Amino acid sequence: MEKTLILLKPCTVQRRLIGEVINRIERKGLRIVGLKMMQLDDAILNEHYAHLTERPFFPWLVSSMKSAPVVAMCVEGNSAVTVVRNIVGATNGRKAAPGTIRGDYSMSGQENIIHASDSIESAEIEMKRFFREGEIFEYPDPLHDFMYAPD
């Protein structure tokens, strides 16, 4: 089982789409093992988007991500990192395929609904960035065999 980090961005909170996006993630079969609302600040955003500091849109990105709370989630499943990135879709909402979360809910390269870790390594780092020990839960999964028959 793999875990990955998801942020529902301020645009999603403002547009009252939290439930709709979470519904898609759960419907796929991923399990929520951590969930909370957070107000992000410069310190955490400079760290989280360190790979983008030189890009012209960086100041706007930080300001947008601070404009309202986000919903931080940790979800679990087989190949969770890849599965979540696939259902999230391409970065730019106008280019993301229909049927993906960004493809269905975003018209923007910037206000694109959701962040999801892009590798197992970044998922580990990002889960520690947004969740403290004790905020990610382990609990039995009685549906495991229904969700995961052998390939």
Binding-site members for ATP are: 9, 57, 85, 91, 102, 112
Give the footprint of ligand IDP on residues 60-99 (CB under 6 A): 61, 91
Q: Does 112 bind ligand IDP (CB under 6 A)?
A: yes
3-state secondary structure of 89: coil
Kindly calculate the radius of gyration of the chain based on its CA atoms and give it in whole angstroms: 15
The nearer residue to ligand IDP, 125 or 143, going by C-beta atoms, is 125
The nearer residue to ligand IDP, 78 or 122, going by C-beta atoms, is 122
115 is catalytic: yes
Site for ligand IDP (CB under 6 A): how many residues? Answer: 9
The nearer residue to ligand IDP, 57 or 137, going by C-beta atoms, is 57
Contact indicator for 11, 63 with CB cutoff of 8 Å: no
How far does Cα 38 stand from its chain's mean position? 13
Least separation in angstroms between residue 121's CB and ligand IDP is: 14
How far does Cα 80 stand from its chain's mean position? 11
Contact indicator for 78, 24 with CB cutoff of 8 Å: no
Residue 146 CB: number of other CB atoms within 10 A? 9
Q: Does 109 bind ligand IDP (CB under 6 A)?
A: yes
Residues carrying an active site annotation: 115
